Structure 1
Amino acid sequence: MIRDERLSWKEVRDQIRAGILNRTYAPGDKLPRDADIAETLGCARSTVQRAMRDLSDAGLVERKRKGGTHVRTDPVTRATLDIPITRREVEKRGGVYGYQLIDQSLGVIPHEVARKFEQTETTEMMRVQALHLADHKPHIFEDRWICTDTVPEILNVDLSRESANEWLVRNKPYTRFDLRFYAISADAEIAECLKIERGSPLLVIERTTWIGTAAITLVKAYTAPGYEILTSN
C-alpha cells in the first residue's frame, strides 16, 4: 500500500502559522497565493484554503476577495471553545458520570426564548430538564428547549437513556451559536436539583445554536459550586 504523503490542512496551517510567529511573514505582509503555497508544499489548493480559513478564524490573517491574504497588523487572540459532551468532561477528569432525566414535555416557548432564537412569534418546542452527575453528586442542571421543526428526530430519542446534550452534539451540527456566561443566585428549584443552599452563587452557561437561520436548541446549564471550564488556543 502506498501512503499518501501529502500534508493535512492542519499541518499546512501550522507551517504558515510558524512563519507568522517567527516573522518570516511580518504584520501587514501579503502571503503567497493559495495556489503557490499548494505547489510549494505539494498539497491540494483546497487544503491551503481550509488552513487559511482556520488562520482567519483565529485572527492571525485577513482574507479579502481579489485582495489576497495579509498577516493582520493587530492580531486578534481568540480561544476555541467547543460545545462539550458532559459525560466526556466528567470522565476525562477521572470521575464517574451519571445522568437523570427530570422532565420532558412539549409546550409553547416563552417570549424570552423566542427572542433568543431570533423569532418574532412563539412556537411549540420540546423542553428537557435533566441532571448530570459526577461521582454520584449533582454536576450540572440542564434546562433546554429544542426546536422539533429543525430536529424532528429528537422526538424518537429515548432521553431517559441518552442526554439531549450528547445526542445533539453527535447528530445535529450547528453553523453558528451564541454563548453567554453569567452568575445567579440559586432559586428553590435549582437549589433542590443541585443539592445546595438556596441563594448560593452559581455560574450559568447559556448556549443557543442554529443551522443557518433555523433554531436548534437553547440550553441553560446551571453548574454546581466548584465547576471549572478550561479553554485554550
Structure 2
Amino acid sequence: MTTSSRLSWKDVRDEIHDAILTGRYAPGDRLPRDADIAEDLNCARSTVQRAMQDLSDSGLIERRRKGGTRVRRDPVTRATLDIPITRREVEQKGGRYSYQLLHSAEEPAPREVLAAFELGTAPRQMQRVEALHLSDGKPYLLEDRWICLETVPEIRDLDLQRESANEWLVVNKPYSRCDVKFYAISADDHVADVLQTAPGAALFVIERTTWIDTAPITTVKGITAPGYQLLTTT
C-alpha cells in the first residue's frame, strides 16, 4: 500500500478492502498496525482508525484490544443500529413523548458495571440514572444507566429532570466503540410496576456500553414495554 497524496478515510478503507478482496490478506490474516498503515499511506492514524471502524462495522475485519486487527475467517453482513434518541424514536412512530426521572445519584459501581466497562474491580463512584420514557402517556422504555464520571464529569451539572441523559449523551459524547447486547428478562416487581405490566412478564432488553477510545462513557439497559419493536437496516 503506497501513495503520494493525502487520503480520506474512505480512500483508506477502499485500499484495505481491495487488498483483502484480491487475496493480499486472506481470511484470518493479521493486518499491519494502524500506525504502520498510516505511515505507508501518508495519512493520519485517526484516518486509518476511522477506515478500520467502518470495515469492522461491515463485518469484514475484527478488531480486538491488544489483539490487533484480523480479516474475519467468515465475513458477516451486519445490520446498522444507531443509538437512538428515545424522544425522536417515539415521535417518529407518531407518539407524544414525555419523560420522568426516577432516580439520579452518585453510587459505587457494582461489579457487573465495572466488568462491562472493562475496568477491573477497583471501587469507583459513578452516576446512576433511572428514567422512564413514555409514549402517549404510557410506559415505553425504562432506562437503567451508569455514567463514568471520569469521562463525563459534566453530567453532575445537567438538570436531568428537564433533559434526559440519553439525549444529552448522544448529542454531546460521540463514541468510538459501542458494544450492544439483546436479551429478554422476566419483569421483577419494580420493573413490572414502572412499566405497568405483570410481574414475570417477558420483556426485551437492549444493553449498550460505549467508550471514547478506551475511556468508558456509559452503560445502559433499555428495558422495553410489551409490544416494543426494533427496526434495523442492512
- Same fold? TM cut 0.5: yes
Is the counterpart of residue 166 in structure 1 residue 159 in structure 2?
no
Partner of 1:142: 143
- Provide the residue aligned with 1:178 in structure 2: 179
Distance 1:210 1:89, change over 3 A: same
Q: Give the CA deviation at 1:109.
A: 0.9
Structure 1 equivalent of residue 153 of structure 2: 152
- Code of the aligned partner of 2:105: S
Change (3 A) 1:185 1:83: same
The CA distance in 1 between the partners of 2:118 and 2:171, in whole Å, is 24
Are residues 126 and 202 of structure 1, via their aligned partners in 2, closer, same or farther at CA, if it must alter by over 3 Å? same
Task: Tell me by how many angstroms 1:113 deviates.
Answer: 1.1
Change (3 A) 1:165 1:52: closer
Whole-angstrom distance in 1 between the partners of 2:146 and 2:180: 15
Q: Whole-Å Cα distance in 1 between the matches of residues 53 and 178 of structure 2? A: 18
Normalised to the residue count of structure 2, the TM-score between the two structures is: 0.72
Quote the RMSD (CA, aligned, Å).
3.2
Q: What secondary structure is seen at the aligned counterpart in 2 of 1:125?
A: strand
> Could you say which structure has the larger radius of gyration?
1
**Structure 1 gap segments, 5+ residues each:** 1-7, 32-44, 63-71
Amino acid at match of 2:188: D
For the 8 Å contact 1:28–1:73, the answer to whether it is kept is no
1:194 and 2:173 matched:
no
The 5 Å alignment of 1:96-107 reads 96-107=96-107
Report runs of 4+ in structure 1 exceeding 6 Å deviation. Answer: 48-53
Q: Provide the residue aligned with 1:128 in structure 2.
A: 129
Q: Distance in 2 between matches of 1:73 and 1:151?
A: 37
Cα distance 1:157–1:195, how it changes in 2: closer, same or farther (>3 A)?
same
Q: Distance in 1 between matches of 2:179 and 2:74?
A: 25
Deviation at 1:55, TM superposition (A): 5.4
Query: Secondary structure of the residue that 2:199 maps to in structure 1?
Result: coil
Which residues of structure 2 form unaligned runs of 5+?
Answer: 1-7, 25-41, 63-71
What pairs up with 1:14-163 in 2 under 5 angstroms? 28-29=21-22, 54=54, 57-59=57-59, 75-119=75-119, 120-163=121-164
Aligned residues: 197
Percent identity reads 60
Equivalent in the alignment of 1:67: none
